[in-house]
Amino acid sequence: MQQFQKEIPTQPQITPQPNQQQQKTIIYIENLDQGISEDYLYRKFKEVGEIASLKITKDKSTQKSKGQAFITFIHPDSAEEARKKFNNQVFIRNSIRVKPYFNFHGADKKANIFISNLPEDADDLELEQEFSRFGTVLSVDVHRDSTGKQLNYGYVQFERKEDAENLIKRIQSHPLTHKGKLLKLEQFKAQSERKVESTSIYLRAFAAPLPQHLSAQDSAMRSFEYGWSLVIKDYLTRVQGDQIRDCFVKIDSVTRQPWAMITFETYDQAKVNLDLCESQRKHPCINSGARVALDLIKKHGPPANSDGSLQFTIQQIEPFFEEMSKDPFDTFKGESDNFFFNMVYSKHLNPDERLIIIQNIKEDVTKEQISEFLGQFGKVIRLTIRKTKNPRFQVQQCFVHYQTLEDSKRARSELYDDSNEKIVNKRKEIFKDGRAVANILLSKTMRKEFKEIKKQSQNIFANPGGRQLLQPQIPTYQMMPPPMPFPHPHPQRNPPRGQRYPFPPSQRPVQRPPVNMIKPSEPIRNVEKYQPNFLQEFMDYQTVQSRMEDFLKIPTDSQRQVLGNLLFQKVFDVVKDKESTKKLVGMLIDPSQFEIGDILNMFDDVNELQTYIDDGLQLIREEQKAN
């Protein structure tokens, strides 16, 4: 390792966004064995050229290798030679993958092409050579799963968008093949730009539960499922004239209610039937009877198993349908109190707007109370109450699924209606400070994306009313040295709020009355009048953590004041400027930008707080230039 350190000249680390010429000298290595060190990589890759810098990425908490590395060569030719020589070579036990470093975020997205239907043995270098016939290729990336297995799709990034557009036009008349497989190419689209048109609708719990004794018999369950599929297809094709590609029906073993997945020929047909469910709160295709279902089974014949044998005979199932036809709760009548429907979309791209998360609920509110309150806005299909997983910030929240989109819209609107005295009074009973918080529930992936977007400075610190920075509602801090034990040469002043005493309470020096000629500033007197008990009660973050339950009971505005008070010193230690610190803390406790939970996370995540500080300082500098 000493030799390694001597031979590598001192160079600055790889910049986060190297220019295009710098990128040509950098290679990215993945799937490295845990036992590989930087010394090992240096000795291997030094064979192809002089190395400027080398770095194996490591986990911040465990300091273990992530199996990835970056190597910067002095000359671009060395980086290209390294890719050709070491790609797919076995280092210790793993076959490594060597790729050119590419800053995707700085590239032209319109010059990117999505490739699918790749052969199993597709190689990045071979694909790069293939696509280089159509323009300068910056990067080719074939995707892999979590186990390292190569998938059948990837991306190719051209330098110019014109080359990508010309290739898309060319394949319409001259298809492109690679290793005998016809490649499918399309222009790259961000997920927010992709239009997903599903042709399938999902109907759940659309009929009454089967009697317990019938659901225990396998032939009865299979015959009812088959009967339902015939009833649905018959109505949709014969009455509505729809073209059905598939209709799959299953009876839930727990609820004993049927659910169906219906796939239409076109999106428009699926959308029309979904709108029908929305307007009628049921679908006419499920309004039938047991005798009708049995007649359709006789007409089409029983279904066959994979070996050609029949799943059941007509004689076997006739008693089941005869009994069901006499039952006042005949499941084929399609009557249900918890009917649910939706278009079969990707959950990542299309959140269900009927699923709402309700927050800021008081700890002592019961499920029955919140269910009664939310039920007045529309039909509630499912309601779940749970506490957040964060042990130091446990709050109660509710997930409610309304039957229709109109029910959901009404709830999200009338929940905030201050003109309705009944709703206002109920909000005070159920929500902290009488303030309800209702949002459409996003998927886990979308929540992660939203959090990243929220960190963008233009979204975090921009004010809808203009570029004026928010001023914190906290005092003008008088930065003073920490108090010292007596004898003290000067009268003791009040310490800055949030600063801890250097002595335990029993050893603190007795405060001497201030001399009349020394007067505290007016802002400090105002602060003493503003909720002094809360500021004194939570004078450090450890107290907030240990008494989180008590802390969450104080008014929300007071919570923000306490946390802003504690953040002041942390921010000042970084900024070293009192005025800038005041502005930054004002941003960080702004209720329109951060929830209380977000502010609490700043105390634990130093990197996140630093990001907010950097973005805020940038905005302050821009504001100063503008003025």
Question: What integer pLDDT is reported at residue 17 of this predicted model?
Answer: 52
Bin 538: left if φ > 0, else alpha if -120 < ψ < 50, else beta. beta
Q: Which fold has domain 2-100?
A: Alpha-Beta Plaits (3.30.70)
Residue tagged 């310490």 (tokens): 495
More confident residue, 621 or 210: 210
Determine the Cα–Cα distance for residues 87 and 95; give it in Å rounded to an integer.
Answer: 8
Determine the Cα–Cα distance for residues 480 and 239; give it in Å rounded to an integer.
Answer: 84
The three-point CA angle 447-449-455 to 5° equals 105
pLDDT average, residue stretch 556-584: 87
- Amino acid identity of residue 587, one-letter, is M
Query: What contacts 620, CB < 8 A, 6 or more positions away?
Result: 469, 580, 583, 584
0.85 exceeded by pTM:
no
62-76, 133-147, 307-321, 553-567: segment of lowest average pLDDT:
133-147
Question: What integer pLDDT is reported at residue 488 of this predicted model?
Answer: 39
Q: Say whether pLDDT at 459 is over 60.
A: no
CA dihedral 141→144→150→151, nearest 10 degrees, is -90
Question: What integer pLDDT is reported at residue 502 of this predicted model?
Answer: 38
Question: What integer pLDDT is reported at residue 170 of this predicted model?
Answer: 86
Question: What integer pLDDT is reported at residue 338 of this predicted model?
Answer: 83
Domain boundaries, the chain: 2-100, 104-187, 200-343, 355-441, 442-481+520-627
Q: Residue 442's pLDDT band (boundaries 50, 70, 90)? A: low
Q: Say whether pLDDT at 544 is over 90.
A: no
> What are the pLDDT digits (tens) for 234-290?
999 888 888 888 888 989 888 899 989 898 888 888 889 988 988 888 888 888 899
More confident residue, 2 or 343: 343
Q: Say whether pLDDT at 296 is over 90.
A: yes
More confident residue, 114 or 484: 114
The residues that bridge with 440 in the sheet, in sequence order, are 356
The single-letter DSSP state of residue 485 is P
Question: What integer pLDDT is reported at residue 447 of this predicted model?
Answer: 53
Strand 258-264 with 340-343, pairing: unpaired
**98 in Cβ contact with 27 (< 8 Å):** yes
Question: What integer pLDDT is reported at residue 226 of this predicted model?
Answer: 92
User: 231, exposed or middle or buried, with CB in 10 Å at 0-12, 13-18, 19+?
Assistant: buried
More confident residue, 305 or 424: 424
Question: What integer pLDDT is reported at residue 460 of this predicted model?
Answer: 40
Question: What integer pLDDT is reported at residue 491 of this predicted model?
Answer: 41
Q: Say whether pLDDT at 1 is over 60.
A: no
More confident residue, 324 or 451: 324
Q: Would you list the DSSP string of 355-415?
A: EEEEEEE-TT--HHHHHHHHHTTS-EEEEEEEE-S-TTS--EEEEEEESSHHHHHHHHHHT
Q: According to the CATH classification, is domain 104-187 in 3.30.43.10? A: no
Q: Say whether pLDDT at 229 is over 80.
A: yes
Question: What integer pLDDT is reported at residue 511 of this predicted model?
Answer: 45
pLDDT average, residue stretch 195-211: 82
More confident residue, 583 or 441: 583
**624 in Cβ contact with 420 (< 8 Å):** no
- Residues of the chain with pLDDT > 70: what percent? 75
Q: Say whether pLDDT at 129 is over 50.
A: yes
More confident residue, 446 or 609: 609
Question: What integer pLDDT is reported at residue 452 of this predicted model?
Answer: 55
- Amino acid identity of residue 369, one-letter, is Q
Q: Which of 593, 590, 585 is nearest to 620 (CA)?
A: 585
Q: Say whether pLDDT at 67 is over 70.
A: yes
Q: What three-state secondary structure class fits 78?
A: helix
Determine the Cα–Cα distance for residues 505 and 507; give it in Å rounded to an integer.
Answer: 5
Q: Residue 320's pLDDT band (boundaries 50, 70, 90)? A: very high
Question: What integer pLDDT is reported at residue 239 of this predicted model?
Answer: 87
pLDDT average, residue stretch 443-466: 46
Q: Residue 443's pLDDT band (boundaries 50, 70, 90)? A: low
What's the mean per-residue pLDDT of the chain?
76
> What are the pLDDT digits (tens) for 380-424?
888 888 766 555 455 677 888 888 888 888 888 888 888 888 888
pLDDT average, residue stretch 117-124: 83
More confident residue, 227 or 623: 227
Cα distances (angstroms) measured from residue 108 to each of 102, 114, 451, 622: 12, 14, 24, 27
Q: Say whether pLDDT at 606 is over 80.
A: no
Q: Residue 498's pLDDT band (boundaries 50, 70, 90)? A: very low
23-37, 45-59, 435-449: segment of lowest average pLDDT:
435-449
pLDDT average, residue stretch 488-495: 41
Q: Which residues of 300-332 are buried (b: 16+ CB within 10 A; e: fewer)?
A: eebeeeeeeeeebeeeebeebbeebeeeeebbb
Determine the Cα–Cα distance for residues 382 and 400; give it in Å rounded to an integer.
Answer: 6
Q: Would you list the DSSP string of 219-284?
A: HHHHHHHHHHHHHHHHIIIIIS---EEEEEEEE-TTT--EEEEEEESSHHHHHHHHHHHHHHSS-G
Tell me which architecture the domain covering 355-441 has in CATH.
2-Layer Sandwich (3.30)
Question: What integer pLDDT is reported at residue 258 of this predicted model?
Answer: 92
> What sign does the dihedral 584-590-592-598 (CA atoms) show?
positive
Question: What integer pLDDT is reported at residue 196 of this predicted model?
Answer: 55
Structure tokens at 366: 């019961």
**128 in Cβ contact with 158 (< 8 Å):** no
Q: Residue 21's pLDDT band (boundaries 50, 70, 90)? A: low
**568 in Cβ contact with 477 (< 8 Å):** yes
Q: Say whether pLDDT at 85 is over 80.
A: yes
Q: Say whether pLDDT at 493 is over 70.
A: no
More confident residue, 83 or 483: 83
